[in-house]
Amino acid sequence: MIIISISVGVIFSVVTALGLIRLPDVYTRTHAASKSATLGVLGILTGTFLHFLLIEDHFNPQLIIAIAFLFITSPVSGHLIGRAAYMSGTELAKETVRDDMKILRKKTEDPK
Amino acid sequence: MSLQILLNFFLAGVWMFITDNFTPSGFAIGYLVGLLLVVMMRRFFSSRLYLYRIWAVISLFFLFLKELVLSSFAVFKLVIQPRLNIKPAIFELETELKQDWEITLLAALITLTPGTLVLGISDDQKKLYIHAIDFEDIEDAVSSIKNTFERAILEVSRS
């Protein structure tokens, strides 16, 4: 149980690092970072929580609070990084569909 | 809804006073008796019985966990494969949610679904702009996922 959760966390942290290296632009990297990093850190925290609970007989509520906190904050951080990059940044190639988001960007660049 | 929960706690306190039993077990018994009374009096409340809404919140949380694991595995497969053949795109999604906290929750859930990331919300809060990591094969699946999420959130906020 403990071994499984900690190894899952480590594997997904490695996947996050690989994704940050391999993926082409800011948005796809944000995908990797916001999803896999969350699950990686969650796995490691769950593993430590279970270790202290089962082996040391010590219930540690701070770890549960940290898990909940990560759950709440990671999608928001991914969204904010993506939005900031979009409002100031560039796109890569292979972009298929571009919708009305362009209008939003134009409005922020030259406010009337 | 919060009125029902407060009333239930108040009835539990009254039960502890009646039985002169100020222990957690006494509170639990009083809470169950108060729950029975609230169920019997549910005709007089304007909103639903609050147990349904709590159940909806719990099911939404489990949906959240499932989506997080699925999306991590999707990114895993995408990073492991030797050649990247992805087609990123930004598309828009109409939402019928009204209140701020609902839209925030929907955006967080979409961000944790496989291959989608919310980039912005239009000024009238009717459209979400979503960046999909692989547009061709995911659009229908994504829209179905959105429907499940929107329905779950509407289930929570329905009075």
Is residue B12 within 8 A of residue B46, CB to CB? The reply is no
Is B108 within 8 Å of A76 when comparing Cβ atoms?
Answer: yes
Cα dihedral: A14, A16, A18, A24 (round 10): 180
The more confidently predicted of residues A77 and B68 is: A77
Q: Which residues of B touch A25 (CB under 8 A)?
A: 88
Burial tier of B60 (Cβ tally within 10 Å: 0-12, 13-18, 19+): middle
Residues of A with CB under 8 A from a CB of B: 12, 15, 18-19, 22-25, 27-28, 30-32, 34-36, 38-39, 42, 71-72, 74-76, 78-79, 82-83, 86, 92, 94-101, 104
Q: Which of A35, A76, A97 sits opposite B72 (nearest CB)?
A: A35
- Looking at the DSSP bridge assignments, the partners of residue B118 are B130
State the smallest CA–CA distance between residue A62 and chain B in angstroms.
20
pLDDT of residue B132: 80
Is B120 within 8 Å of A83 when comparing Cβ atoms?
Answer: yes
Cα dihedral: B102, B107, B109, B112 (round 10): -170
- Looking at the DSSP bridge assignments, the partners of residue B94 are B127
Q: What is the mean pLDDT of residues B35-58?
A: 84
> Three-class SS of residue A25?
coil
Residue with tokens 């904050």: A73
Domain ranges of chain A: 1-109
pLDDT of residue A112: 41
Contacts of A37 (CB under 8 A, 6+ apart): A12, A13, A16, A74
Residue A100's pLDDT band (cuts 50, 70, 90): low
What is the residue-averaged pLDDT of chain B?
82
Domain ranges of chain B: 2-44, 53-157
pLDDT tens for residues B34-43? 999 988 888 8
Q: Rounded distance, CA B22 to CA B39, Å?
A: 24
Q: What is the mean pLDDT of residues B134-154?
A: 75
pLDDT of residue A44: 92
Determine what percent of chain A is predicted with pLDDT higher than 70.
Answer: 79
Q: Which residues of A touch B61 (CB under 8 A)?
A: none
Is residue B138 within 8 A of residue B115, CB to CB? The reply is yes
Residue B29's pLDDT band (cuts 50, 70, 90): very high
Q: Which of B57, B93, B119 to mutate to test the interface with A (most CBs of A within 10 A)?
A: B119
State the smallest CA–CA distance between residue B63 and chain A in angstroms.
13
Q: Rounded distance, CA A50 to CA A56, Å?
A: 9
Burial tier of A48 (Cβ tally within 10 Å: 0-12, 13-18, 19+): middle
- Looking at the DSSP bridge assignments, the partners of residue B117 are B131
Q: What is the mean pLDDT of residues A43-56?
A: 89
pLDDT of residue A91: 67
pLDDT at A79 over 60: yes
pLDDT at A45 over 60: yes
- Closest alpha carbon within chain A to B83: A22
pLDDT at B154 over 70: yes
CB atoms within 10 A of CB B57: 12
Q: Which of A22, A31, A36 sits opposite B84 (nearest CB)?
A: A22
pLDDT of residue B30: 92
Highest mean pLDDT among A6-15, A93-102, B89-98: A6-15
Q: What is the mean pLDDT of residues B25-34?
A: 92
pLDDT of residue B148: 80
pLDDT at A96 over 70: no
Q: Which residues of B touch A71 (CB under 8 A)?
A: 64
- Looking at the DSSP bridge assignments, the partners of residue B132 are B89, B116
pLDDT tens for residues B93-139? 778 788 888 888 888 888 887 778 888 887 787 888 888 877 766 66
